[in-house]
A and B are shown apart, each in its own frame.
Chain A
């Protein structure tokens, strides 16, 4: 069966209907089946614009909110607000305390790596990530659109360190374009090739980070949001399911 690709890292710079439509159109041209817009919690009212812009396209849209703030109490406040309202919640690792909190809190699904900030993962963080089935997220934008060679080198170094660790420990990764405009979107195969060429990741793992890993986390969260879900491990079985 043919692989389905997804990009959940699109971070629009403008939230008008036309630019969102352009992004969705380009994503559908590039053969993506699922698209997620990374919207910061302070701009979450734009989620409705995204849903409206996606009408008429044969593309699955995931609602995603980024809850990155300097203060932990602000993150907790927004987590409380958006829990069970959006399909994905992500956090950018901007400092040690935030990374640690992001790995610990069960409400956060994705931990994004920001090459502008130092990113480290300790033993406890890795254990939390693996236990709770979180994913680490990387984007191609800091590599492709780096202002200067120094920034690109820094991003490559950061990514290499974390990807090596993730592969060694078996942490799932998510890769995407991180596009802000339609000109920054790239096809999934090329993004996978970036991972292979720069970080020595196998092509299968690279493709998984653009398809399988994303669909797994989205399906899991959609199931959690459905009426069938009661508690982790407890759910209402559908009529078609057989019982022993």
Chain B
């Protein structure tokens, strides 16, 4: 019997203002492809579900490829913007509630 795909939802935030959604998706997928190749990109079924320009977003990825997605988040470095993974959840509902409740701390001293 073929098991159905299981997914994880990665909630991430940014410390600076992120670019527009289309630009971010393009940057993120090209970085993922550069690091792990087209095969992993295809099999991971990575998708940006929610994206708030000043805050962060939610990334949907197949469970077996969570570390690949997380490593790509660590590698993301456009215009000195760094991303931080807040939580990895099993449901979209939980991920949304976490993202809506987050307040972004400032790094400036």
Contacts and interface: CB of A to CB of B under 8 A. Distances in A.
Interface in A194-210: 194, 196-198, 203
B71 A197 contact: yes
Given A25-B107, A144-B74, A190-B74, A185 B82 contact: yes
Nearest to A196: B67
A124 interface: no
Contacts of A194: 71, 74-75
A183 B74 contact: no
Contacts of A154: none
Interface in A125-141: 140
A140 B74 contact: yes
Contacts of A18: 109
Nearest to B87: A189
Given A26-B107, A29-B107, A145-B77, A189 B82 contact: no
A30 interface: yes
Interface in B88-109: 105, 107-109
A25 B108 CA distance: 8
Contacts of A21: 109
Contacts of B66: 193
Given A144-B75, A197-B36, A22 B108 contact: yes
19 contacts: A22-B107, A22-B109, A25-B109, A29-B105, A29-B107, A143-B75, A144-B75, A183-B80, A186-B82, A187-B74, A187-B85, A190-B70, A190-B84, A191-B74, A193-B71, A194-B75, A196-B71, A197-B67, A197-B70
Interface of B: 34, 36, 66-68, 70-71, 73-75, 77, 80, 82, 84-85, 105, 107-109
Given A25-B109, A29-B105, A187-B85, 19 more contacts: A21-B109, A26-B107, A30-B84, A143-B75, A183-B80, A186-B82, A189-B70, A190-B70, A190-B71, A190-B74, A190-B84, A190-B85, A193-B66, A193-B67, A193-B68, A193-B74, A194-B71, A196-B67, A203-B67
